[in-house]
């Protein structure tokens, strides 16, 4: 993902560490704020995977560490749920002043409770998505039950949440108990998507039922069946991001014409070392992902470059045959084009000892379903060899490269 590291002032005046992730063409149609759980940070794999799914669909996503967490300044023990909400407002203001207003909020766990409280305070927000969110902010109290008495007596205590130590002060507990999330949700008049796993051991799925019952339409629920609370499985977090991006399309406004910051037909972007080989592509305004398999060091988030090449031949062949069949008014129901690519020696080669004598072979087989006679089928196979990508691949090709 194309990423810009930024800082903005949080609710307590401390500098918060943040990043804005952009789609490959650097022209997002909408901006999103992602609020993670307060035991997490913006670099959590699940957060990165959800953001990848969003940027692939043309969104820009701002993710940040709340005050005192991750790489942000400040002391977590001096914060509370109210300051987390204020951090979200500060993030929204930063986007408004430097880029464009956020139209979508995404919140995970307590971050989900926070975005539900903040949504009504950010006019530009049209939709909210929560992942594993508690119905009430004070759900956190259940996680520190064994320390509540010590906090009440001493005013603070060290607690362990999600395997990480935190210092919690009494004001944190008091603030959580003062918040009425359900009233906010009942009054909310914005589109809401609730994602929750039935197997969530940290925040029971009954919380999702409560949120759904209290919320007004439009509201939607998606079960993340089999996922844990942190969406540790890569497939779960990628799925959540894909669902949110697709769902949000219905409730946000997109510019009718998007400018692409290139005069080329296609732009490909690959990020920093930690992203491995995951490559975002914008081709004629459409967003794609290319990658390499995991066994060669990739993330397997998309097809390989050679997979894209064979896809181009297969798609062009199918389109060419459909155009021809339509023009002839032939009864063709379906066309399936199977393509494999390999490096091997040409049967006509005079030098089979050298690797340089190997050439690229595309093995293409075509299934044509419909009421056609043998003459028509033979003609369609002939037409397949006239598809533009086929002719390009067999022509003399030269790639000229220059620095931009």
**Domain containing 385 — which CATH number?**
3.30.300.20
- Inform me whether the pLDDT recorded for 63 exceeds 90: yes
Q: Are 233 and 227 in contact (CB under 8 A)?
A: yes
Closest C-alpha among 132, 131, 128 to residue 248: 128
**Token pair in block for residue 244:** 């949110």
Q: Please indicate, yes or no, whether residues 124 and 45 belong to a single structural domain of this protein.
A: yes
Whole domain around residue 17: which residue ranges?
A: 2-143+173-248
Q: Please indicate, yes or no, whether residues 220 and 315 belong to a single structural domain of this protein.
A: no
Position 166 in a domain: no
Q: Summarize the confidence of residues 250-270 as an average pLDDT.
A: 72
Each residue's pLDDT tens digit, 119-173: 999 999 999 999 999 988 766 666 666 777 887 777 777 776 656 666 777 787 7
Question: Can you give the pLDDT at residue 45?
Answer: 86
Q: Please indicate, yes or no, whether residues 339 and 283 belong to a single structural domain of this protein.
A: no
- Using a 10 angstrom Cβ sphere, with 0-12 exposed, 13-18 middle and 19 or more buried, the burial of residue 63 is buried
Most confident of the following: 148-152, 278-282, 391-395: 391-395
Q: Please indicate, yes or no, whether residues 211 and 240 belong to a single structural domain of this protein.
A: yes
Kindly report the number of other CB atoms within 10 A of residue 87's CB atom.
Answer: 29
Position 37 in a domain: yes
Q: Please indicate, yes or no, whether residues 104 and 218 belong to a single structural domain of this protein.
A: yes
Position 157 in a domain: no
Q: Please indicate, yes or no, whether residues 23 and 114 belong to a single structural domain of this protein.
A: yes
Q: How far apart are CA 344 and CA 122, in angstroms?
A: 60
Question: Can you give the pLDDT at residue 256?
Answer: 65
Q: How far apart are CA 107 and CA 244, in angstroms?
A: 11
Average pLDDT, the chain: 86
Position 165 in a domain: no
Position 167 in a domain: no
Helix (H, G, I), strand (E, B) or coil at 75: coil
Position 339 in a domain: yes
Question: Can you give the pLDDT at residue 346?
Answer: 64
Confidence class for position 390, pLDDT limits 50, 70, 90: very high
Q: How far apart are CA 5 and CA 15, in angstroms?
A: 13
Confidence class for position 300, pLDDT limits 50, 70, 90: confident
Percentages helix, strand, coil for the chain, rounded to the nearest 5?
Answer: 40, 25, 35
**Token pair in block for residue 160:** 């362990």
Q: Summarize the confidence of residues 34-42 as an average pLDDT.
A: 78
Confidence class for position 324, pLDDT limits 50, 70, 90: very high
Each residue's pLDDT tens digit, 177-216: 777 767 778 888 999 999 999 999 989 999 999 999 999 9
Question: Can you give the pLDDT at residue 260?
Answer: 44
Q: Are 30 and 59 in contact (CB under 8 A)?
A: yes
Position 130 in a domain: yes
Question: Can you give the pLDDT at residue 94?
Answer: 96
Confidence class for position 259, pLDDT limits 50, 70, 90: very low
Q: How far apart are CA 120 and CA 40, in angstroms?
A: 25
Question: Can you give the pLDDT at residue 258?
Answer: 45
Cis before residue 218, ω within 30 degrees of 0? yes
Q: Are 102 and 62 in contact (CB under 8 A)?
A: yes
Question: Can you give the pLDDT at residue 158?
Answer: 76
Q: Please indicate, yes or no, whether residues 213 and 310 belong to a single structural domain of this protein.
A: no
Q: How far apart are CA 155 and CA 149, in angstroms?
A: 9
Q: Please indicate, yes or no, whether residues 63 and 188 belong to a single structural domain of this protein.
A: yes
Each residue's pLDDT tens digit, 77-129: 787 788 888 999 999 999 999 999 999 999 999 899 889 989 999 999 999 99
* pTM recorded for the entire structure: 0.69
Q: Please indicate, yes or no, whether residues 311 and 177 belong to a single structural domain of this protein.
A: no
Q: Please indicate, yes or no, whether residues 327 and 274 belong to a single structural domain of this protein.
A: no
Distances 91 to 54, 102, 202, 330, 357 between C-alpha atoms, Å: 18, 9, 27, 58, 58
Helix (H) or strand (E) holding 107: strand 102-108
**Token pair in block for residue 14:** 């401390």
Helix (H) or strand (E) holding 9: strand 2-9
Q: How far apart are CA 354 and CA 65, in angstroms?
A: 56
Helix (H, G, I), strand (E, B) or coil at 211: helix
Contact partners, residue 34, CB within 8 Å, separation at least 6: 42, 47, 50, 51, 61, 62, 63, 106, 107, 108, 111
Q: Please indicate, yes or no, whether residues 226 and 338 belong to a single structural domain of this protein.
A: no
- Using a 10 angstrom Cβ sphere, with 0-12 exposed, 13-18 middle and 19 or more buried, the burial of residue 67 is buried
Q: What percent of the chain has pLDDT over 70?
A: 89
Q: How far apart are CA 364 and CA 366, in angstroms?
A: 7
Q: Are 211 and 117 in contact (CB under 8 A)?
A: no
Q: Please indicate, yes or no, whether residues 71 and 91 belong to a single structural domain of this protein.
A: yes
- Inform me whether the pLDDT recorded for 230 exceeds 50: yes
The one-character DSSP state at 332 is E
Domain count, the chain: 3
The one-character DSSP state at 260 is P
Q: What is the CATH number of the domain that holds 103?
A: 3.40.50.1820
Confidence class for position 5, pLDDT limits 50, 70, 90: very high
Position 106 in a domain: yes
């Amino acid at each position: 993902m194309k990423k810009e590291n930024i800082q903005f002032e949080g609710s307590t005046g401390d500098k918060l560490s943040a990043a804005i992730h952009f789609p490959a063409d650097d022209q997002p149609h909408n901006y999103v704020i992602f609020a993670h759980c307060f035991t997490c940070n913006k670099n959590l794999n699940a957060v990165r995977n959800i953001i990848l799914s969003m940027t692939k669909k043309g969104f820009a996503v701002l993710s940040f560490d709340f005050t005192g967490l991750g790489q942000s300044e400040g002391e977590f023990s001096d914060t509370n749920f109210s300051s987390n909400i204020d951090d979200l407002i500060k993030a929204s203001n930063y986007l408004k002043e430097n880029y464009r207003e956020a139209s979508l909020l995404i919140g995970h766990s307590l971050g989900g409770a926070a975005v539900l409280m903040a949504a009504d305070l950010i006019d530009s927000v049209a939709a909210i998505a929560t992942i594993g969110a508690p119905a009430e902010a004070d759900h956190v109290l259940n996680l520190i039950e064994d320390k509540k008495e010590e906090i009440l007596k001493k005013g603070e205590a060290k607690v362990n949440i999600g395997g990480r130590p935190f210092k919690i002060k009494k004001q944190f507990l008091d603030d959580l108990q003062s918040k009425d999330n359900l009233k906010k949700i009942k009054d909310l008049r914005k589109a809401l998507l609730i994602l929750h796993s039935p197997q969530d051991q940290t925040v029971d799925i009954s919380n999702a039922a409560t949120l759904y019952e209290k919320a007004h339409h439009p509201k939607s629920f998606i079960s993340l069946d089999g996922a844990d609370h942190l969406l540790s499985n890569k497939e779960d977090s990628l799925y959540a991001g894909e669902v949110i991006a697709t769902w949000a399309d219905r409730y946000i406004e997109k510019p009718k014409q998007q400018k692409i910051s290139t005069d080329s037909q296609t732009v490909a972007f690959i990020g920093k070392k930690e992203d491995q080989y995951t490559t975002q592509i914008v081709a004629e305004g459409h967003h794609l992902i290319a990658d390499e398999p995991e066994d060669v060091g990739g993330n397997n988030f998309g097809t390989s470059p050679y997979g894209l090449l064979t896809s181009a031949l297969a798609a062009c062949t199918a389109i060419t045959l459909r155009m021809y069949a339509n023009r002839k008014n032939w009864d063709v129901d379906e066309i399936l084009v199977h393509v494999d690519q390999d490096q091997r020696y040409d049967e006509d080669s005079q030098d089979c000892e050298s690797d340089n004598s190997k050439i690229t072979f595309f093995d293409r087989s075509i299934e044509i379903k419909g009421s056609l006679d043998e003459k028509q089928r033979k003609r369609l196979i002939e037409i397949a060899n006239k598809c533009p990508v086929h002719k390009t691949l067999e022509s003399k090709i030269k790639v000229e490269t220059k620095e931009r």
